[in-house]
Amino acid sequence: MTETTGITAATYPIAVVMERIKLDNPWLPFRWEAKGVVRDIFPAGSSDRIIVHDERQLQILFPGLELRLTREEGEGYYLNLTSPEPKVFVLWRLRDETARPEFVTVSYNEGTRWADSGESVDGVALPPELRPWMGEFVEQHYRPEPKKQKRYASNKDKGVGFRG
C-alpha cells in the first residue's frame, strides 16, 4: 500500500485480454468484449500483443493498466467481494476498429457508474490472487454504515398499518 496525499491507496498492475469474435451477421460482422485479466509482468511501455488469431477470433493482450484501491470506493469493493461472482470491470473504447481497455476497477459501484453513463463495460472473473489483496484493504479501510433504526409515523402504531 502506498500513501498518496493523505489518501490510502493500493495498486496492482493488470493486463487485459480483449477478444473479437466473428459473427454470422451481415450488419454486425464481429463483436468485442473483455475476456479476462492477468497480472501485468511486462516492462513499462510494452505494447499490446496478439495472443490468438484465426478465422473466428482475435485475442489481444493489453498491458500497462493498474487497479487502484481507494478509501472512497470501499463500499464498492465490499459489495463486489461479497457477491457470488466477484469481477474486474473493464471500461473499453473502440479506437481504429480495435477495442482498447481504458480503465479497470474492482468497485461494483464504479463499474455500475461507468455502465450507467453509456460506456462499454465488461465484467470478467476476478483472479483468485486478488481476493486476499482486496479483502485486506476492505478490512482496513471500510466500515459499513450502521443500520438505521426504523422510524414510525407515530409511537401509537409502531409500524402497524391503518385498520379501518
pLDDT per position as a tens digit, 100-147: 999 999 999 999 999 999 999 999 999 999 999 999 999 998 887 777
Question: Is residue 106 within 8 Å of residue 75, measured between CB atoms?
Answer: no
Taking only the tens place, the pLDDT of each residue in 73-109 is 999 999 999 999 999 999 999 999 999 999 999 999 9
Confidence of residue 4 (pLDDT cuts 50, 70, 90): very low
pTM of structure: 0.82
CA–CA separation, 15 and 11 (whole Å): 13
Residue 160 has pLDDT above 80, yes or no: no
| Residue 77, C-alpha cell as written in the block | 469493493
